[in-house]
């Protein structure tokens, strides 16, 4: 059985978590049981793949600079770089377009992490532009692709 660790940061796009979890759970041989929460090392050992969806600007900045002050960032800092880690940015368009964001995304990609790019949409705040998390179907398809490619 393959294991996916689905991580969520503080973006408004987190409301899509149930739909994303259901989509990933619908893949063959996924999530047949649940367990109690464990420490960051146990979680990174347990998972074959990690998905951070949504990845907000705050958590992106923390990961890019090595800050690990919560469970999510500690798992990422301890992540086995031989295993896939997918990240799905989600933030306001102005935040997305800030020059530091491109640098931080590139830093994560330099670690070997895989970006599932954000999309153009009307955001919850009313702004329209890049920054919306990728569609659930896109994320699920990328998870499936990575699971099929990894040993």
89 and 58 in contact (C-beta within 8 Å)?
Answer: no
Residue 36's pLDDT is 52
pLDDT score of 117 more than 60: yes
Digit-coded pLDDT (tens) for 63-116: 999 999 998 999 999 999 999 999 999 999 999 999 999 999 999 999 999 999
Once rounded to an integer, what is the mean pLDDT over residues 11-21? Answer: 85
Burial category of 106 from C-beta neighbours within 10 Å (exposed 0-12, middle 13-18, buried 19 and up): exposed
**Please, which pLDDT band fits residue 1 given cuts at 50, 70 and 90?**
low
Pairing between β-strand 119-122 and β-strand 114-115 as defined by DSSP bridges: unpaired
Q: Which two tokens stand for residue 48?
A: 């074959």
125 catalytic per annotation: yes
List the domains of the chain with CATH numbers.
4-149 (3.40.50.1950)
Q: Tens digit of pLDDT for each residue in 34-67?
A: 555 556 888 888 899 999 999 999 999 999 999 9
Q: Give the pLDDT score at 29.
A: 63
Look at residue 53 in the predicted model and tell me its pLDDT. 96
Global confidence as pTM: 0.76
Contact present, 48 and 150 (Cβ < 8 Å)? yes
Alpha helices in the chain (DSSP H): 17-25, 40-46, 57-65, 71-77, 93-97, 99-110, 136-149
What pLDDT does residue 146 have? 95
How many Cα atoms occupy the beta-carbon half-sphere of 6 within 13 Å?
21
* Predicted pLDDT at 145: 96
**Residue 47 or residue 138, greater confidence:** 138
Catalytic residue among 74, 88, 118, 125: 125
Residues 139, 116 contacting (CB under 8 angstroms): yes
The confidence score (pLDDT) of residue 108 equals 98
pLDDT at 15: 86
């Amino acid at each position: 059985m393959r294991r996916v660790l689905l991580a969520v940061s503080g973006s408004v796009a987190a409301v899509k978590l149930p739909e994303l979890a259901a989509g990933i759970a619908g893949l063959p041989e996924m999530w047949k049981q649940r367990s109690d929460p464990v420490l960051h090392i146990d979680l990174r050992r347990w998972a074959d793949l990690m998905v951070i969806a949504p990845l907000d600007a705050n958590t992106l900045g923390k990961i890019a600079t090595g800050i690990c002050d919560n469970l999510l960032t500690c798992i990422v800092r301890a992540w086995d770089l031989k295993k896939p880690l997918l990240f799905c940015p989600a933030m306001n368009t102005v935040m997305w377009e800030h020059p530091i964001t491109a640098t931080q995304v590139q830093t994560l990609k330099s670690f070997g992490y895989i970006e599932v790019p954000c999309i153009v949409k009307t955001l919850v705040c009313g702004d329209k532009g890049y920054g919306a998390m990728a569609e659930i179907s896109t994320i699920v398809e990328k998870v499936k692709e990575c699971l099929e490619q990894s040993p």
